[in-house]
Structure 1
Amino acid sequence: MGRLRIGRSGVVEIVGLLLLGVFLAATSAFDSEEIPTVPRYLYWIAALVGGGVIAALIEPWIAARLPGRPRLFALAQLVAMTPPITLWITVLPMCLWGDPFRIERLYWTMPSVVTVNVAVIGLAWVVRQAFKPKTAPAVDGAPPPAIRAKLAPRLARARLIAIEAEDHYLRIHTDAGSELVLMRFGDALDALTAADGFRTHRSWWVARTAVETARWKGGRGELVLSTGAVAPVSRTYAAALKGTDWAAPVMADG
């Protein structure tokens, strides 16, 4: 059951909506005291859980278009979920006890739906923060967050060895293996500004502590890394790297 998900919502959030529905029924919220007890509970539970399912189906589409912008995402989610949930609340009495559909109900129902939706979005945020998986601390020399987020957990926790550009992808070399990710080399270099390493070639970045052997020939070079991989050193970067004190930390050349 813990693996059951609707969009980005899990069982805990659905249970939270069910309990909120019970609370609203028990308090006869929004002047619902005229509805008999059993139908009132059915109404509020169906309203909250059904509305939650609608919101959960909409949420991934919005999240994909507004990454890293939580406030704008919450506002967009509220705007997108309110009309279909209002329609659901309007037809619910017709489904539960045969109340005739009246179009004007859409207008006077919407303010109440907005109020509950704000509470539901807040509830979802609280639940997700409470049940957010604890992130294992990164090891010394691990990839920076922007790169780590694209890697499998085993590699994200490993020590970064090198980054190699392959067309529109990057091959991230770590001491636990390598992985091909979709990312621009320039964006990776920006993320590596404070890392202990340097650019060696137009398509390579190397961690300083990963270098085992440096070989030079004809103005170019090669760096043999701790994984056995060999990183090329172009003429552009060779002169600066030849004078590198490999035992001392250096800043990345972005």
Structure 2
Amino acid sequence: MTFRLGRSGVIELVGLVLFGLFLATIAPFGTAAAPGAFRHLYWQLAVIGGGLIAASIEPIFARRFTGNPLLFVLAQLAAMTPAIAVWVSLLPVFIFGEPVSTGRILQLLPDVLSINIAVLVLTWLARKALNPSKALRTAPEVFAPLAIRRKLPPRLARARLIAVEAEDHYLCIRTEAGSALVAMRLGDALDALSPLDGFRTHRSWWVARTAVQAVRWKGGRGTLALSDGSSAPVSRTYAAGLKDTDWAATVAQLDPSVSDHLQ
């Protein structure tokens, strides 16, 4: 499951515009009395502005709660709802000339929360439709992103990426041609790795999907056997999220003998 608002680009923006048109048409939350043009302007600014606020907040929680979708959604709603309520409370001031009211923010929180939930559900459905399960496609070769590749020797930079492991203030970049230590923060590496076909399995590990050969679960934790002969841990924090994705099916395809461990 992917979360970052805006990952589908123009399509999600069009979706927000259409949702704003829908809200302007049904005129919920006492907006029916507003003139048509002003009502449409109000809802477009409310929905698109709220989407931009959500887009700025989402990457923070997406990285922090990788592998735990429920906590991610709850944290995102808790952070974005008050911020969007402030934004929406200011729209009547600019559009209708109403006086500034701090009490309006509290009154808007339930309404904003309900719309935020609807937008998140619609966004998730759109992404599922636009990005079908990777388990149904041939997994592409995974190479290190430019931010990491330029720190590697040419031989490793051209090789398929296997995993990234944090070691103190360095990262161990594992490739099919060997490994190397580079000076880089794990958070920066995870940002660069986010478009790639892989998963964070531990607070110190990121693993390419195609590098996983087998898996062993025990006590809520896991161990991944990687194609270079090394092993990567799966902590409790990330285990549940990994099992809920198409990762388990992909591993079973790579090594059918491990499918029993994934049930």
TM-score (norm 2): 0.56
Q: Identity over aligned residues, as a percent?
A: 41
Find the aligned partners of 1:161 and 1:74 in 2 and give their Cα distance. Answer: 29
What stretches of structure 1 of length at least 5 have no aligned partner?
143-147, 206-254
Q: 1:137 Cα shift? A: 2.2
Q: 1:170 Cα shift? A: 3.2
Which AA in structure 2 matches 1:40?
Answer: R
Which AA in structure 1 matches 2:174?
Answer: I
**How many residue pairs get matched?**
183
Match of 1:57 in 2: 56
Match of 1:170 in 2: 172
Q: 1:38 Cα shift? A: 0.5
Q: 1:89 Cα shift? A: 0.7
Find the aligned partners of 1:84 and 1:21 in 2 and give their Cα distance. Answer: 18
Q: 1:129 Cα shift? A: 1.9
Which runs of structure 2 are paired with 1:228-239 in the superposition (5 Å)?
A: none
Any conservation in 1 of the 2:6–2:13 contact (CA below 8 Å)?
A: no
Match of 2:124 in 1: 125
- How large is the RMSD of aligned CA atoms in angstroms? 4.2
For 1:30, what is the secondary structure of its paired residue?
Answer: coil
Q: 1:169 Cα shift? A: 3.6
Match of 2:103 in 1: 104
Cα distance 1:124–1:179, how it changes in 2: closer, same or farther (>3 A)?
A: farther
Match of 1:34 in 2: 33
Match of 2:70 in 1: 71
Which AA in structure 1 matches 2:93?
Answer: M
Report the structure number with the largest CA radius of gyration: 1
Q: 1:11 Cα shift? A: 2.0
Q: 1:130 Cα shift? A: 2.1
Per-residue deviation, residues 35-81 of structure 1 (Å, max 9, x unmatched): 01000000011100001101111111111211111111001000000
For 2:108, what is the secondary structure of its paired residue?
Answer: helix
Per-residue deviation, residues 99-137 of structure 1 (Å, max 9, x unmatched): 111222112111100100111111221222222277452
TM-score (norm 1): 0.58
Cα distance 1:24–1:7, how it changes in 2: closer, same or farther (>3 A)?
A: closer
More helix by share: 2
Cα distance 1:83–1:192, how it changes in 2: closer, same or farther (>3 A)?
A: closer
Match of 1:137 in 2: 138
Per-residue deviation, residues 201-243 of structure 1 (Å, max 9, x unmatched): xxx99xxxxxxxxxxxxxxxxxxxxxxxxxxxxxxxxxxxxxx
Match of 2:254 in 1: none
Find the aligned partners of 1:44 and 1:111 in 2 and give their Cα distance. Answer: 16
Which AA in structure 2 matches 1:170?
Answer: C
Find the aligned partners of 2:83 and 2:163 in 1 and give their Cα distance. Answer: 49
Find the aligned partners of 2:108 and 2:162 in 1 and give their Cα distance. Answer: 58
Bigger relative contact order (CA 8 A; separation at least 6): 2
